[in-house]
Amino acid sequence: MKWVCLLIAIVAEVAGTSALKASQGFTVLLPSAIVALGYVVAYYFLSLTLDRIPVGIAYALWSGIGIVFISAVGWLWFGQTLDTAAMIGIALIVADNRAGVERVMGFCTEEEARWFLELIPDVERTFVESGIILLKYWLEVSQEEQARRLEARIHDGRKIWKLSPMDLKSYSRWYDYSRARDDMFKASDTPWAPWYVVRSDNKKRARLNAISHLLQRIPYEELPRAKIKLPERQKPQGYRESDYPFKFVPDLTWPST
């Protein structure tokens, strides 16, 4: 059944996009961020309709509607024709949502999670074969660093807003998440859409490493930069610092500042 669903979805995507091209009279190619958004929308509505109509019909319906919708939005937004060879996109897929959080925390059944893991490699292959550059990054953090960050959120009033009940529940289920991650990698770490793991205990280094790695995999042209030099400040020309009683905000002592 899953292969039938995938085939119908691909046909719906091609048919929907081709119909839009024909109606517009010219080629319409989209940045993959919009394409990815369309797939997200399609999957969301698919999840809502699975219990109401057959899977194949739901997949075809929402995939077709999603692709046509994002194609129209893309044309209206960019208003220009793009060459296929020049169409480059980055789809940052949060695949660990269904394969990780939803599975571990019981927001989906084990059968639904397994079905997702079986389907996602073929969906990602469709992305790649359509010309999208698909890059997937997994931010790996140690138990010690995770505990340090959560403790900091608990005891620092500036950060406590970032702490959710889900964080606390997830913290206690480290090994359930580790098993779910391992299953996700086994299923979706493919030659056409590999997972890249970023060691992220050091956030700044992790960001720089991820950005550098990403730029190495996307063709781009470096733009020339003019050398910047601060201009000379004007002379005071008799100005004296004001003795006006400014109402300064108190300079308090804060932790880690």
Distance CA(6)–CA(56), nearest Å, equals 8
Could you identify the residue written with the tokens 């880690």?
Answer: 256
**Cα distance between residue 109 and residue 238, in whole Å:** 76
Task: Round to whole Å and give the CA distance between 41 and 64.
Answer: 11
Torsion angle, alpha carbons of 179, 182, 187, 192, to 10? 160
pLDDT at 76: 46
- What pLDDT, on the 0 to 100 scale, is given for residue 1? 53
Q: What is the pLDDT of residue 230?
A: 94
Q: pLDDT in tens for each of the 257 residues of the chain?
A: 545 554 555 555 555 444 444 444 434 444 444 444 555 555 555 555 555 544 444 544 554 455 445 444 444 444 443 333 333 444 444 555 888 889 999 999 999 999 989 988 998 898 889 888 888 999 999 999 999 999 999 988 888 888 888 888 889 999 999 999 999 999 999 999 999 999 999 999 999 999 999 999 888 888 898 999 999 999 999 999 999 999 999 988 876 65
Count CB atoms within 10 A of the CB of residue 117: 19
- pTM, two decimals, is 0.59
